[in-house]
Amino acid sequence: MRFAGIDIGSRTIELVVLKDNEIIEMKQTDSGFDPLAQARDLLGGVKHDHIMATGYGRHLFELSFEAPTVTEIKAYAVGARFLFPEVRTILDIGGQDSKAIAVNDMGRITKFEMNDRCAAGTGKFLEIMAQTLGYNLDQFGIEALKATKEMQISSMCTVFAESEVTSLMAKGEVRQDIALGLHRSVVKRAVGMLKRVSVKGPILFAGGVAQNPCMRHLLEEALDTHILVPENPQMVGALGAALLTSEKT
Amino acid sequence: MTRKGYLVKQKEMGRHLLGVFPAQYPKEILWAMNIVPAEIWDPPLEMTLANAHLQPTICSVVKLGLELILQGKCDILDGFLFPHTCDSIQNLASVINDYMKAEKPCYFFYHPKAPYDTASRDFYHNHLKELVSSLEKQFGPLDPDTLKQRIHQSQKVSALLTGLYDLRAEGELNITNEEFYRVVRHGEYLFPDDFIPELEVFLSRNKGQGMKGQAPVLLSGVLPNPPEILTLLDDLGVRVAHDDFLIGSRRLLVPANNLDDPFENLTESYFAMPPCSTKGSSIGERAEYLFRLVDATGAKGVIFNVVKFCEPEWFDIPNLKEELKKRGISTLSLDTDLNQGLSGQMVTRVEAFVEMIG
């Protein structure tokens, strides 16, 4: 039997299909303005017997596909444990939210925290700041690592931070230095959230932002420990949903 | 009948109406003086005017209360009562009475904060009498026998509400969480002559097998707003087994023994009520109260549903969470704006909490 998990996030949609507990297919697309239509397209031609949805669009999917749902919190916990059974803390920074999840040695969630309602400390924040500095998202972390000094960014509100960045550029500050300060501000928030769930190792970093090398570097520096990052960190939620639907069947 | 329709009818019947800000006040005295206290917690208004008078970090209970006045929706009232609940409500009293020079009389009620001693009781007793003296100038003399009768009614209301809470705790109330609080909150404006029969009918009609399914939870905070939190819990099949809401169990009157002196009676009841952040109760007392509720109901977790910028509540929450954690009780805190609904992120947090404790 083929078990699929679909993670309908605010920025992207991921799909994972399992067969005999092995990943046989992974796909990703943008959520766009009509995530349901995008999800339908993503599923086109993908064979599966059961599917479970997670992510902010899960209830939309549930209504149209009569599929069971699970929160991203649980899906990430299950997906992370499948990839790294020893993991005790999971940090997920996605498009518009971020979360820290603590699990016990049985993989059961013992505590979780999510970011505040605004986009501060999320992938969206980094995306807007990258645009402001004239980088594409793939370059952003790489360029930030080239900084020779670090600019302090005091505003965490995306709108105010953008105007702070504009002011720094107007003063002639180097883009890479500003970029490093911006990454640091997101890491500080993430570390605060991790501390609130009593961070314990090993720690896994998931979600699209985990692909950013500067974020990984600064997190390891701040926590003074090695951080586990899966090969496809953005797929962990969809993987968790696929695993959960296979457990239920 | 709507709240507004009810208040208009009360006025037509010759009763006086007092707009009462949260939270602790001797409603029995008002009833005895033929005054209907119309509590002002979360009027369903769009915030347009109040922001000009109050800083952004003031809670929406206070802002919406001011908005209600500024939008001219209090014309029917005969005055306002401001209990000494928190700094923000004290400041609101100043804004309305001193700066805006309200056309309607404003009354103030100071209740002592914990820790209590004999002087606290004397203070409370004296302030009850001072409140009566000031109200008498506008509404006429208070009849002590009527006050005794109203205290008796208040005890009856509390007994009926306690009955409702007990049945719900045992899972023997066949209603949704939303229906439960809709009825409880009618007590924020119904005169006891009307509230008592409503509660009696509600109790007799709804005794029965309660909601089964997910693990029961406790709710704590000021009030169950946004109401979507209740509908969400209903949809998830989660029974609220008890609450530590300021509009809920924290204001259930404990019957006092001494009925001869009604002021003594009210004083004794006030000090016997459950602990509350607005009364300065200690973390230890508040945690013990929550432990008792958890033990009595088998609740698997506590959700702190707290109005954003509510200082008395938020100051206590980190310590309360720590105490609950020591007992292995899971907690979730939601920082809510009144009447603003639940964001998708909050829905996820509640759902994940239910998954976690289930």
Per residue in A157-181, pLDDT (tens digit) is 777 888 888 889 888 899 999 999 9
Q: Cα distance from A75 to chain B (closest Cα, Å)?
A: 10
pLDDT value, residue B135? 98
**Residue A154: alpha-carbon gap to chain centroid:** 23
pLDDT value, residue B258? 64
Mean per-residue pLDDT of chain A? 92
Chain A within 8 Å of B348 (Cβ-Cβ)? Answer: yes
Residue type, A79: G
- Joined tokens for residue B19: 């707009």
| Rounded CA separation B333/A218 (Å) | 29
Chain A within 8 Å of B152 (Cβ-Cβ)? Answer: no
pLDDT class of B246 with cuts at 50, 70, 90:
very high
Task: Tell me which residues of chain B, numbers 321 to 340, contact chain A at a CB-CB cutoff of 8 Å.
Answer: 330, 335
pLDDT value, residue B212? 64
Show the 3-state SS of chain B: CCHHHHHHHHHHCCCEEEEECCCCCCHHHHHHCCEEEEECCCCCCCCCCHHHCCCCCCCHHHHHHHHHHHCCCCCCCCEEEEECCCHHHHHHHHHHHHHCCCCCCEEEECCCCCCCCHHHHHHHHHHHHHHHHHHHHHHCCCCHHHHHHHHHHHHHHHHHHHHHHHHHHCCCECCCHHHHHHHHHHHHCCCHHHHHHHHHHHHHHHECCCCCCCCCEEEEECCCCCCHHHHHHHHCCCCEEEEEECCCHHHCCCCCCCCCCHHHHHHHHHHHCCCCHHHCCCHHHHHHHHHHHHHHHCCCEEEEEEECCCHHHHHHHHHHHHHHHHCCCEEEEEEECCCCCCCHHHHHHHHHHHHHHC
In this complex, the residue of B335, B343, B352 whose CB is nearest that of residue A71 is B352
Chain A within 8 Å of B355 (Cβ-Cβ)? Answer: yes
Do residues A189 and A121 make contact, with C-beta atoms less than 8 angstroms apart? yes
Tens-place pLDDT, residues B140-164 = 999 999 999 999 999 999 999 999 9
pLDDT value, residue A158? 76
Q: Cα distance from B170 to chain A (closest Cα, Å)?
A: 27
Residue type, A135: Y
Q: Cα distance from B332 to chain A (closest Cα, Å)?
A: 9
pLDDT value, residue A30? 94
Count of alpha carbons within 13 angstroms of residue A221, beta-carbon side: 11
- In chain B, what residues touch A117 (CB-CB under 8 Å)? 343, 345-346
| Rounded CA separation B161/B142 (Å) | 27
| Rounded CA separation A113/B330 (Å) | 12
CB–CB of A71 and B344 under 8 A? no
pLDDT class of B206 with cuts at 50, 70, 90:
very high
Question: In residues, how long is chain B?
Answer: 358
Show the 3-state SS of chain A: CEEEEEEECCCEEEEEEEECCEEEEEEEEECCCCHHHHHHHHHCCCCCCEEEEECCCHHHHHHHHCCCECCHHHHHHHHHHHHCCCCCEEEEECCCCEEEEEECCCCCEEEEEECCCCCCCCHHHHHHHHHHHCCCHHHHHHHHCCCCCCCCCCCCCHHHHHHHHHHHHHCCCCHHHHHHHHHHHHHHHHHHHHHHCCCCCCEEEECHHHHCHHHHHHHHHHHCCCEECCCCHHHHHHHHHHHHHHHHC
Do residues A238 and A15 make contact, with C-beta atoms less than 8 angstroms apart? yes
If you measure CA to CA, which chain A residue comes closest to B342? A117
pLDDT value, residue A161? 82
Do residues A223 and A191 make contact, with C-beta atoms less than 8 angstroms apart? yes
Chain A within 8 Å of B104 (Cβ-Cβ)? Answer: no
pLDDT value, residue A198? 81
In this complex, the residue of B335, B344, B352 whose CB is nearest that of residue A56 is B344
CA angle B239, B227, A100 (to 5 degrees): 75
Do residues B31 and B47 make contact, with C-beta atoms less than 8 angstroms apart? no
Query: Is residue B259 over pLDDT 70?
Result: no
Q: Give every CB contact of residue A34 below 8 A, 6+ residues apart in sequence.
A: none
CB–CB of B348 and A73 under 8 A? yes
Mean pLDDT of B203-214: 80
Chain B within 8 Å of A117 (Cβ-Cβ)? Answer: yes
Residue type, A87: V
Mean pLDDT of A29-43: 95
- Joined tokens for residue A202: 């090993």
pLDDT class of B214 with cuts at 50, 70, 90:
low
Tens-place pLDDT, residues A199-213 = 888 999 999 999 999
- In chain B, what residues touch A109 (CB-CB under 8 Å)? 352, 355-356
In this complex, the residue of A71, A111, A117 whose CB is nearest that of residue B343 is A117
Query: Is residue B298 over pLDDT 70?
Result: yes
pLDDT value, residue A78? 97
Mean pLDDT of B14-19: 98
CB–CB of B352 and A112 under 8 A? yes
If you measure CA to CA, which chain A residue comes closest to B346? A117
Of A121, A100, A128, nearest in space to A198 by CA: A100
Query: Is residue B75 over pLDDT 70?
Result: yes
Query: Is residue A143 over pLDDT 80?
Result: yes
Which residue would you say has higher pLDDT here, A198 or A246?
Answer: A246
What percent of chain B clears pLDDT 90, i.e. is strictly above it? 90
pLDDT value, residue B215? 82
CB–CB of A117 and B352 under 8 A? no
Do residues B20 and B81 make contact, with C-beta atoms less than 8 angstroms apart? yes
Structural domains in chain A plus CATH codes: 1-84+232-249 (3.30.420.40), 86-229 (3.30.420.40)
CB–CB of B348 and A111 under 8 A? no
Mean pLDDT of B308-316: 96
In this complex, the residue of A74, A110, A117 whose CB is nearest that of residue B345 is A117
pLDDT value, residue B256? 72
Mean pLDDT of B91-117: 93
pLDDT value, residue A163? 85
What percent of chain A clears pLDDT 70, i.e. is strictly above it? 98
Chain B within 8 Å of A97 (Cβ-Cβ)? Answer: yes
Query: Is residue A155 over pLDDT 80?
Result: no
pLDDT value, residue B218? 98
Do residues A92 and A80 make contact, with C-beta atoms less than 8 angstroms apart? no
pLDDT class of B123 with cuts at 50, 70, 90:
very high
Do residues B27 and B253 make contact, with C-beta atoms less than 8 angstroms apart? no
Query: Is the link from the previous residue into B23 a cis peptide, with omega within 30 of 0?
Result: yes
pLDDT value, residue A43? 96
